[in-house]
A and B are shown apart, each in its own frame.
Chain A
Amino acid sequence: MPLLEIRNLHVCVEGREILHGLDLTVNAGKVHAIMGPNGSGKSTLSHVITGKPGYQITAGRILFKGEDLLAMGPDQRAAKGLFLAFQYPVEIPGVTTMNFLRTALNAQRKARGQSGYSTPHFLKKARTVAKQLNIPQSMLKRGVNVGFSGGEKKRNEILQMALFEPDLCILDEIDSGLDIDALRIVADGINAMRSPDRSIIMITHYQRLLNYVVPDVVHVMSRGRVVKSGDKQLALELEASGYAQFEDAA
């Protein structure tokens, strides 16, 4: 059974169809890359998979571990092991990063029927992961993403992924706004997460990330559909020739 299976997905926003019958299958343990021009619907797809309100699903289905994702709220999906690193992480003033991480982690554990982490256990875990990602302790005491630089926000997303240990990670342009060193740190963080039962979908515009985190499968999205899938060679072809050839296919 695939970890994620999307069939014939049609999605409208404010009456306009944005995804036009999208198919995607992700097997456990695989790293997928989704590439495609601006506005082709990549972030929309990530939002629909994670349950953001405001999208009308007019046809199709999404199965995660064989279960109907569309019937679940965003929190239930997270508890089931789904994670989205946002293209634009939000700022939450007045909620410290530490408090947020602990509340979120324990909410997920509770929903899965696991016991919550004690404060010392949690702190130790969070500090260790933060250190690996080169995130200073002082950042954990600040409001979630408040005053964080673009790169710091992205690292904070990876920190959460590492803490929550999800089964499917969708990373929406995790490489945008990262300097060369930060990209390497983030890539190391992603590679450390690779495991036989965990899958990763990376949405990206650039080959550079794929040099560090080598994908098993590469998809091209255009105008609301997956128009081509291949191996890592496909990304290199795109780098050379651009998306023009797929505009007609879509």
Chain B
Amino acid sequence: MDLVLAKAMPEDKANAERAASNVFAAAQGRLPGAGRIAAIRARAFEAYERVGLPHRRVEEWKYTDLRVLMRDVLRLAERPDASALKRAQAAVDQAAFEGAIKLVLVDGMFAPNLSDVAKIGKGIDVQTLREVLESSASDALAGLVLSTTTDAMISLNTAMATDGVVVTIAEGKALRRPLHVIHVSTTSSASHFTRSYLHLGDGAHGTVVESFVSAESACGYQANNVMIVLVGNQAGLSHLRVKADAADAVNISSEIIAVGSKAKLNLFDMIRGGAVSRYQDFITLAGEGAELCVNGVNLLMEKQHADTTLVVDHAAPHCVSRQNFRAVVDGAGRSVFQGRIIARPDAQKSDAKLTMRALLLSDQAEADNKPELEIFADDVKCGHGATSGGLDESLLFYLGARGLSENDAQALLIRAFLGEAIEGIANENLRDFATSQTERWFKARR
């Protein structure tokens, strides 16, 4: 049987696995953490190798077949040298979010000189993943940071993560300024892996922005990032992420989130760059009365592929979740939204709503919207809706008859369409930031 399978195994997959093994073997000296940590990594890599790159027969990856889109795992990027850091600096300046404290990761390595660690206030603890994995004092934390799921890309990340940020906001404390985690890729045709951790203690509050950008001339890279997020009871987190990678890059981001009782999480996922981008968010509403709002937009052109996949697990009673996604797809772009809502047997009075709408601007544009409900509790309110289509001709004519050029009329309608998702961002500054990011897409499209 094994023999038959091996024979039937497509050559691509065999090549890809060989490439991954080589990459893991070659990276050994670069991966922080010995002993127990090294064992966790080895096990994670085995788990990855058993299944390899996710492909279309893996249900969760049905529309994003990495065997086709990624083919193989590239060699690990070198530690950034002085010139790489200089190029990264320019990208950081471009991406900056006014007033935020920057934490910068360059090619998977924390870059202290590009970051503002000194400005972090009392009650806020920031370490690097490397520090946590290499210190014996933080064994328990290391275990949490490396927590994993059955997803192959997360397993690969557990095995390969070189660095990341580990942020803890103490009970009752609030971040006075937003944190801005900026991931910069400077090396072409290489991969990098970061693992980060964000913990808000009970009653803590904070705003965290994450940007994924590339330095000039960096191309064809592969980024794989995982963040573990714990939002304590009655805590509040605003979290905005923007992927703006190089046009031929691959970027897979996974987030594993647990939200405590009466806590509020306001999340926004934007993709406006890259060749192949995916957010996969596994969100558990773990405490009674937790509230989640997760919105997002995919802005695509040419042959870009963007996938936002969410699992929202109502594991406690009286939780509310709202998901509202918009995609604007031009050229031969392809947008994927998958949203699964689970209401566990004792998650009574769950209130969940999921809306996904795609705007197709060309004949070759494609959108796959897949909402799913798995309801095990009987007293719940769950709804979903998905649509896709072109711009309304009668609206375009009305605007044209009022003097707007075709381009301006389109842009006005697209902005209004995106606004429906952006208006879900609770924090006004974040909302403005999201809007300014969409404007960059409009500029690039012209």
On A, residues with C-beta under 8 Å from B are 50-54, 73-75, 77-79, 83-84, 86, 89-90, 92-95, 100, 103-105, 107-108, 111, 143, 160, 164
Q: How many residues of chain B get a CB closer than 8 Å to chain A's CBs?
A: 23
Are B419 and A53 in touch, CB under 8 angstroms? no
Whether a CB of chain A sits under 8 angstroms from the CB of B417 is yes
With A92-B395, A94-B416, A94-B419 in contact, is A51–B404 under 8 Å at CB? no
With A53-B397, A89-B398 in contact, is A94–B403 under 8 Å at CB? no
Are B416 and A74 in touch, CB under 8 angstroms? no
CA distance A54 to B403 in the complex (A): 19
Min C-beta distance of A239 to chain B, whole Å: 31
Whether a CB of chain A sits under 8 angstroms from the CB of B413 is yes
Min C-beta distance of B325 to chain A, whole Å: 15
Min C-beta distance of B42 to chain A, whole Å: 52
- Most chain A Cβ neighbours within 10 Å, of B394, B403, B404, B417: B403
Q: Given B405, B412, B416, which contacts A75 in the complex, CB threshold below 8 Å? A: B405
Q: Nearest CB to that of A82 among chain B residues? A: B401
Q: Which residues of B contact A111 (CB under 8 A)?
A: 403
Q: Nearest CB to that of A78 among chain B residues? A: B403
Q: Given A54, A78, A93, which contacts B401 in the complex, CB threshold below 8 Å? A: A78
CA distance A51 to B403 in the complex (A): 12
On B, residues with C-beta under 8 Å from A are 392-395, 397-406, 408-409, 412-413, 415-417, 419-420
Q: Nearest CB to that of A88 among chain B residues? A: B394
Q: Which residues of B contact A143 (CB under 8 A)?
A: 416
Are B394 and A103 in touch, CB under 8 angstroms? no
Q: Which residues of A contact B397 (CB under 8 A)?
A: 52-53, 74
Are B404 and A75 in touch, CB under 8 angstroms? yes
CA distance A67 to B400 in the complex (A): 19
CA distance A52 to B400 in the complex (A): 9
Min C-beta distance of B326 to chain A, whole Å: 11
Are B402 and A78 in touch, CB under 8 angstroms? yes
Are A107 and B404 in touch, CB under 8 angstroms? yes
Are B395 and A107 in touch, CB under 8 angstroms? no
Q: Given B398, B403, B406, which contacts A86 in the complex, CB threshold below 8 Å? A: B398
With A53-B393, A90-B395, A92-B413 in contact, is A160–B420 under 8 Å at CB? no
Min C-beta distance of B424 to chain A, whole Å: 13
CA distance A79 to B416 in the complex (A): 24
Q: Which residues of B contact A160 (CB under 8 A)?
A: 402
Are A51 and B400 in touch, CB under 8 angstroms? yes
Q: Which residues of A contact B400 (CB under 8 A)?
A: 51, 73-75, 78
With A92-B413, A94-B420, A95-B412 in contact, is A50–B404 under 8 Å at CB? no
Are B412 and A103 in touch, CB under 8 angstroms? yes
Are A103 and B417 in touch, CB under 8 angstroms? no
Are A95 and B401 in touch, CB under 8 angstroms? no
CA distance A188 to B420 in the complex (A): 38
Min C-beta distance of B54 to chain A, whole Å: 36
With A74-B400, A94-B420 in contact, is A107–B408 under 8 Å at CB? yes
Please give me the 8 A-B residue pairs with the lowest Cβ-Cβ distance, nearest first. Answer: A94-B416, A74-B400, A108-B403, A78-B403, A104-B402, A107-B403, A90-B398, A95-B416
